[in-house]
Structure 1
Amino acid sequence: MSDTPWVEAGDKAPAFTLTSDAGEKVQLTALKGQPVVLYFYPKDDTPGCTREACAFRDQAKPLAKLGAVVLGVSPDDVASHEKFRDKYKLNFPLLADPDHKIAEKYGAWREKNMYGKKSMGVQRSTFLIDAAGKVAKVWKRVKVDGHDQQVLDALGELPK
């Protein structure tokens, strides 16, 4: 499914309901009225994913000041998310997308090429969804370092 089109800025964010690390159902539609930072990452407790999650964790105050909700999504299951959350004291929900249906809806489930070996997986990407439920900005193939600041800058540019 690597030819799945990306959700782009200006699109209505595809609705979803996923189970969080706390075992609760999280619905995107229930978060309308506030900006949502929806980021897809490949795997819990791997170096890049840990750095990215900890960067968002460490930006909790500025993110809250901007009214934003952060949601991390990966194909890992709830138990894996719980361990990852507890190990790094993450302060936002991690959502389980084990069948990668939501990653596919957003276009984040792509063909990857690692050392010449092709496989399907999550491409690290972030979708900034505005308070009205529209995608305001998309980052594809995210480089972890400095990404949290890029997201904060974009949040600051959203209409109040």
Structure 2
Amino acid sequence: MALQEGDEIPNFSAKDSKGNDFYSASIIGKKPVVFYFYPKDNTPGCTAQACSFRDQYEDFKDLGAEVVGISSDSIASHEKFAHQYKLPFILLSDNDKKIRKLFGVKPNLFGLIPGRVTYVVDKNGIIQLIFDSLVATNHIPKALETIKKMVSEKPKIVL
């Protein structure tokens, strides 16, 4: 079953673009995270999306958030993609599509293209936004707006 807003992010692991092990538990519960699933490295929409996240990355970092891109591309493909476009954030290889299935990310265009879905998760690992759109560059402002709103909402102290 697909994850919904209000659900907790499940634990998962994958290899990053440098071949290192990444464990979701290493950042969940510590800071807000944007997990964005995209179809394929070096395609026009995915490159535009990655570069938009790159260009706004400092804004996310300034708010204490991390960005993690996930596709089924190989570690080598991610390494080349990250290097070519100077991507400062984590790219995870989901070549067996386990993470995609864990989140419930559905394919688009009659199942021909892997889904493009962004999950914004709060510091406690709870999904605050699920944004599903084929329009690659729409994901960045939605994610940033959600992170800003989460950061500005300070818990109320009752005396």
Matches within 5 A, 1:10-159: 10-31=6-27, 32-110=29-107, 112-113=109-110, 118-119=111-112, 121-158=113-150, 159=153
- Whole-Å separation in 2 of the counterparts to 1:88 and 1:102: 24
> Residue 145 of structure 1: CA displacement?
2.7
- Whole-Å separation in 1 of the counterparts to 2:107 and 2:2: 10
Amino acid at match of 1:82: E
**Which range moves more in the overlay, 90-99 or 139-148?**
139-148
> Residue 142 of structure 1: CA displacement?
4.3
- Whole-Å separation in 2 of the counterparts to 1:126 and 1:134: 14
Structure 1: give runs of 5+ residues left out of the alignment. none
> Residue 140 of structure 1: CA displacement?
1.4
Matched residue of 2:118: which SS? strand
- Whole-Å separation in 2 of the counterparts to 1:137 and 1:66: 16
**Which range moves more in the overlay, 81-90 or 23-32?**
23-32
- Whole-Å separation in 2 of the counterparts to 1:147 and 1:77: 23
Aligned-pair Cα RMSD in Å: 1.4
> Is 2:34–2:65's contact at 8 Å kept on the other side of the alignment?
yes
What are the Cα deviations for residues 29-67 of structure 1, in whole angstroms up to 9, with x where unaligned?
110220010000010000000000000000111111111
- Whole-Å separation in 2 of the counterparts to 1:93 and 1:61: 14
Identity score, percent:
37
TM superposition score normalised by structure 2: 0.89
> Residue 102 of structure 1: CA displacement?
0.4
Matched residue of 1:60: which SS? helix
- Whole-Å separation in 2 of the counterparts to 1:92 and 1:142: 21
Structure 2: give runs of 5+ residues left out of the alignment. 155-159
TM superposition score normalised by structure 1: 0.89
